[in-house]
């Protein structure tokens, strides 16, 4: 082919000197929130396409934001007028959509979970590794929460010495229909898995899930609450009270206990007691409220990274894989009642 007739393909590494044109796949509760964020708030981004299996919903959301409705998500990924993809479809669809986005060479922000099993998550790690550079960021928004960043900095500074314990509380007011006992681990504790790895800077090597007495407020058959104990490579212990039908509000709290001191996040101001919806300050209703600013920051930093050609600025596919592996072990522990070890194997390309 002569040089004159050759077409050069834009690669994500080249970045963009204009707004990044984004398609949001899946416009349920979270996808609509992200579509609004991209359309109204995130600088340097232009929402151009929305896509959902529910055609009527796709059309309604497209009309709301004045963008194109593309009913087939694969067509949306391959659309030449789309530069980057946000995946907010149900978790079981992620593997196929992420692999297609990687094949199309398009920067992608995929809501958690990356995929629904360690094996499929590892396939994504390998597919991205074959491309030779990062393309996929995973939507663990807590990494963009100011308090989580501060606690991480405290740990990294070493001023408190070696971390010994991370005590975590994760409470939701209620669960959506069809929320299963496994989902307390896969959908909720997955955030503590990633937050612990982020805060402590090391891998989780074992997990045990205990079944305390069930709250009468939980839908029938749901093991709620659960108590999760994770062990890290350095010997620190991370415990999580996960309680998703408290009926009160949304609470995410972590206390680090290190050799020479402690540090706590998620308390609001000077709070020691909770009753009803009062806990010193306001108890937030849900994660969209509690982590709204973190989602805003996550999206702004992702779009900035896509425009600059860095592509990813946050948790990547290895983090998604690690979370999937720990959670799969957690589900096994929930079923069997025994401690399950986690071995991530070797990361393609080396260091984590």
User: Does the protein bind ligand ISE through residue 298 (CB under 6 A)?
Assistant: no
- 181 vs 243: CA distance, rounded Å: 11
Q: Which is nearer to ligand ISE, 42 or 188 (CB)?
A: 188
User: Does the protein bind ligand ISE through residue 181 (CB under 6 A)?
Assistant: no
- 344 vs 352: CA distance, rounded Å: 11
Q: Which is nearer to ligand ISE, 51 or 188 (CB)?
A: 188
User: Does the protein bind ligand ISE through residue 284 (CB under 6 A)?
Assistant: no
Site for ligand ISE in 231-250 (CB under 6 A): 244
Least distance from ligand ISE to the Cβ atom of residue 166, Å: 17
The single residue among 37, 94, 152, 191 that binds ligand ISE, judged by CB under 6 A, is 191
User: Does the protein bind ligand ISE through residue 143 (CB under 6 A)?
Assistant: no
Q: Which is nearer to ligand ISE, 16 or 287 (CB)?
A: 287
User: Does the protein bind ligand ISE through residue 254 (CB under 6 A)?
Assistant: no
> How far, CA to CA in Å, does 163 sit from each of 4, 243, 281?
61, 25, 28
Residue 204: which of 352, 313, 92, 336 has the closest Cα?
A: 352
Q: Which two tokens stand for residue 138?
A: 């995973």
Residue 17: alpha-carbon gap to chain centroid? 28
- H-helix or E-strand containing 273? none
Least distance from ligand ISE to the Cβ atom of residue 172, Å: 5
User: Does the protein bind ligand ISE through residue 188 (CB under 6 A)?
Assistant: yes
Least distance from ligand ISE to the Cβ atom of residue 244, Å: 6
Q: Is 91 left (phi over 0), alpha (psi -120 to 50) or beta?
A: alpha
- 318 vs 334: CA distance, rounded Å: 24
Contact positions toward ligand ISE, by CB under 6 A? Answer: 172, 187-188, 191, 244, 287
């Amino acid at each position: 082919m002569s040089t004159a007739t050759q077409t050069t393909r834009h690669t994500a590494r080249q970045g963009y000197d204009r707004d990044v044109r984004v398609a949001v796949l899946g416009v349920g509760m979270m996808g609509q929130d992200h579509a609004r964020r991209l359309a109204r708030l995130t600088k340097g981004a232009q929402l151009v396409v929305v896509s959902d299996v529910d055609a009527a919903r796709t059309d309604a959301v497209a009309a709301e934001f004045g963008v194109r409705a593309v009913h087939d998500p694969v067509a949306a990924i391959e659309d030449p007028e789309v530069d980057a993809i946000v995946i907010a479809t149900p978790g079981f669809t992620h593997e196929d959509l992420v692999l297609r986005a990687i094949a199309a060479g398009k920067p992608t922000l995929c809501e958690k979970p990356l995929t629904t099993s360690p094996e499929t998550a590892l396939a994504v790690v390998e597919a991205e590794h074959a491309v030779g550079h990062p393309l996929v960021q995973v939507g663990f928004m807590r990494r963009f929460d100011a308090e989580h960043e501060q606690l991480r900095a405290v740990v990294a500074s070493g001023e408190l010495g070696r971390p010994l314990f991370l005590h975590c509380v994760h409470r939701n007011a209620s669960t959506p229909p069809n929320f299963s006992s496994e989902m307390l681990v896969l959908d909720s504790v997955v955030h503590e898995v990633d937050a612990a790895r982020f805060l402590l800077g090391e891998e989780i090597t074992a997990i045990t899930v205990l079944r305390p007495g069930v709250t009468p407020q939980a839908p029938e058959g749901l093991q709620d609450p659960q108590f999760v104990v994770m062990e890290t490579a350095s010997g620190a212990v991370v415990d999580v009270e996960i309680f998703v039908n408290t009926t009160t509000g949304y609470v995410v709290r972590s206390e680090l206990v290190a050799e020479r001191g402690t540090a706590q996040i998620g308390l609001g101001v000077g709070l020691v007691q909770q009753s009803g919806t009062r806990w010193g300050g306001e108890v937030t209703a849900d994660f969209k409220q509690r982590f709204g600013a973190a989602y805003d920051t996550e999206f702004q930093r992702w779009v900035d990274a896509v425009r600059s050609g860095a592509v990813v600025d946050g948790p990547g596919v290895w983090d998604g894989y690690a979370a999937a592996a720990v959670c799969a072990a957690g589900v096994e522990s929930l079923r069997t009642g025994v401690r399950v070890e986690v071995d991530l194997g070797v990361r393609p390309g080396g260091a984590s």
